[in-house]
Amino acid sequence: MNGKANYPADQVTILGWGHTRFGKLGDQTLERLIGTAAKEALAHAEVDARDIDEVVVSHFNQGMDPQGFPASLPIQALPDLRYKPATRVENACASGSAALHQGIKSIAAGNAKLVLVVGVEKMTASPGPEIQKALASASYVAEEGGPNASFAGIFAQIAQLYFQRYGDKSDALARIAAKNHAYGALNPLAHLQKDLGYEFCRRVSVENPLVAPPLRRTDCSLISDGAAAIVLAAPDLAADRSREIRIRATAHVNDALPMSGRDMTFLEGAARAWKQALSRAGLTLDDLDFAESHDCFTIAELMQYEAMGLAKPGRGADLLEEGATSKGGRLPVNLSGGLKAKGHPIGATGVSMHVIAARQLAGEPLGAKAEGARLGGIFNMGGAGVANYCSILERVR
């Protein structure tokens, strides 16, 4: 980087991207996943590693992989990154968005013009109890922890509270699962590429048991391995490109960690993040052509409809009956299949969601296509509505 210039944060561009397949990838190490995604992103951006000013790696881990301290692992695949500043970022399931925010801020401050952001997680090699313990550490352990604590259990509690206030919405959750699996079947990088259908998702069965009542297996996102990467650029570096996907606005809101101090029937942090991002972008929700939303559990997607203002509290289920969040509806949500079908490798998820949205805007969707899309929203959440990140992406050309 020559000299130092400040750039508006709302003009930072996504210059290129990379994305591995998500799934149970027994032959892929953490290092290999990082390298694959990073090299693909640089090639797509037509940028040489020596020109990168900073590297940010998002990785949750919490003991799921023996390799901690992954910030310098991209150097193994791209030796010209050696001696560049590199940092590992973690903010639970929103780690990927946290890493992107760090890159955006570095460019906005004039400390970098090109930033490589890589999100990664290797989960499936760990035993089930270790994965459960690692994920549960993103809760308020003092009150919500314990030997049997799990995030399925935590979101089951949230669903129970929501049902107590607004009635049993199990059928609405099944509609979300069926919708996202139908789109995931069109996504060649998704963990589960199978259209399961509404009736399968609705019925409790041997193949679809209750995991934590009222949540069935089809209400829970997948434990996955995978990586995604993005090259962020200062606006002048995109001036001569035929494709420009701009980050028009971002917002980050953190709520209190204990659920006991919050009304868990409404995601207030998510609502504030959406409101801030749309305000900074000078837009309303109806200006968006699609959204990628954090469906770690189907109850989360349902409640996010209400948090973003698409429906009033308790009325999110109406949108599903109307088809409002399906392709061709008012605001299609998770045309990629979402975390529900695409998979949820924790550290990779936030970066993946931005890659998915950028590809949709570029006319290269992974999943169903939003025809003529120009504006897309992204909501990435860490913990039980604790870390809330919202981004608005825009296709400039």
Mind telling me the catalytic residues? 93, 344
Task: Supply 152's token pair.
Answer: 């399925």
The token pair that represents 67 in the structure block: 């390799």
At CA 23, angle to CA 17 and CA 27, rounded to 5? Answer: 95
Rounded CA gap, 42 and 52, in Å? 9
> Residues 55, 82: contact at Cβ < 8 Å?
no
Cis, bond preceding 129 (omega within 30 deg of 0): no
**How far, in Å, CA of 305 to CA of 331, rounded?**
10
Question: In a 10 Å sphere around its CB, with 0-12 CB exposed, 13-18 middle and 19+ buried, how is residue 9 labelled?
Answer: middle
Supply 350's token pair: 């936030």
Contacts of 22 (CB under 8 A, 6+ apart): 189, 190, 191, 222, 224, 225, 226, 342, 343, 345, 348, 352
Q: State how far the alpha carbon of 217 is from the alpha carbons of 172, 195, 202, 330, in Å.
A: 15, 15, 10, 28
Q: How far apart are CA 349 and CA 338, in angstroms?
A: 10
Pairwise CA distance, residues 285 & 308, whole Å: 8
Q: What is the DSSP letter of 388?
A: E
Taken in order 191, 215, 271, 275, is the CA torsion positive or negative? positive
User: For residue 52, how many other CB atoms are within 10 A of its CB?
Assistant: 26
What percent helix, strand, coil does the chain show, rounded to 5?
40, 20, 40
Neighbour count for residue 259 (Cβ, 10 Å): 21
Number of H helices, E strands in the chain: 13, 11
Strands (E), the chain: 13-19, 54-58, 86-89, 114-121, 210-212, 215-216, 226-233, 245-254, 290-293, 375-382, 387-395
